[in-house]
Chains A and B, each alone.
Chain A
């Protein structure tokens, strides 16, 4: 394990710490071990997770847009939104 510090700007310890925090964050965080192979998987899951969050934001924007389009109707939700926005 000597001289593993190559040109990479990241130290093993720092990576491991961030990896473990990612593990606790991800919904499917059940992984153990700090091997590099699971690091790759973890990063891939993180990518998927962030992308899924983007999609959720997009969907929610759709919903909000629909909600506001119907604001002239007197639904309870519209009433609340209207009062919040005025």
Chain B
């Protein structure tokens, strides 16, 4: 398997090498997963493909980002958490993939510190909104739950760029 562990996000973005590493890993994984076999059902094959695609992505990205390590761990536990919203019957026993959104109550009021001005109060409210969004991000970025906000933002960036590369790699395979 190829690892293209680029430390720099800007190098990663739109990088051909990264895409090709994913594609190469994907082909290896597909071969290993035996998806060329005719004995598989549609769902079995699709799940094997998805599994191979995510493994290809995580391996190509390397172990530097937290999301990548988390994804690898999820894969080895036989997860299908994030995808497959369109096929609920494909869920394994874990129902984790449905967002357990605890809806923040609107009654959350800003709690200014003792010497806060009105502006500081607005900042606190804004931070609350940001936290709510951060909570949503935690659900969809692998390993997001264990991260502090700053790490989460950086990981989100990295993950989004990597996902795009995964999509591009799979499109290359689909439309060749």
In residues 35-80 of chain A, which contact B (Cβ within 8 Å)? 35-37, 39-40, 43-44, 46-47, 49-51, 53-58, 60-65, 67-69, 71-72, 77, 80
| Interface residues in B, total, Cβ within 8 A | 55
Q: A15-B150, A61-B49, A82-B36 are in contact. Are A51 and B140 (CB under 8 A)?
A: yes
Q: Would you call A28 an interface residue if the criterion is a C-beta within 8 Å of the partner chain's C-beta atoms?
A: no
Q: How far is the CB of A76 from chain B (nearest CB, A)?
A: 9
Q: Are B137 and A43 in contact (CB-based, < 8 A)?
A: yes
Q: Size class of A's contact patch?
A: 35 or more
Distance in angstroms between the alpha carbons of A63 and B53 in the assembled complex = 13
Distance in angstroms between the alpha carbons of A56 and B53 in the assembled complex = 12
Q: A9-B148, A18-B150, A58-B86 are in contact. Are A39 and B45 (CB under 8 A)?
A: no
Q: Would you call A32 an interface residue if the criterion is a C-beta within 8 Å of the partner chain's C-beta atoms?
A: no
Q: Are B49 and A65 in contact (CB-based, < 8 A)?
A: yes
Mask of B97-135 contacts with A, CB within 8 angstroms, 1/0? 000000000000000010100001011101101101110
Q: Are A65 and B149 in contact (CB-based, < 8 A)?
A: no
Q: Are B36 and A57 in contact (CB-based, < 8 A)?
A: no
Q: A22-B153, A54-B82 are in contact. Are A65 and B45 (CB under 8 A)?
A: yes
Chain A contact residues, CB within 8 Å of chain B: 3-4, 6, 8-11, 14-15, 18-19, 21-22, 25, 35-37, 39-40, 43-44, 46-47, 49-51, 53-58, 60-65, 67-69, 71-72, 77, 80-82, 84-86
13 pairs, CB–CB < 8 Å, chain A vs chain B: A3-B113, A4-B123, A8-B127, A18-B153, A18-B154, A36-B130, A39-B126, A40-B130, A57-B170, A58-B50, A58-B83, A64-B46, A65-B49
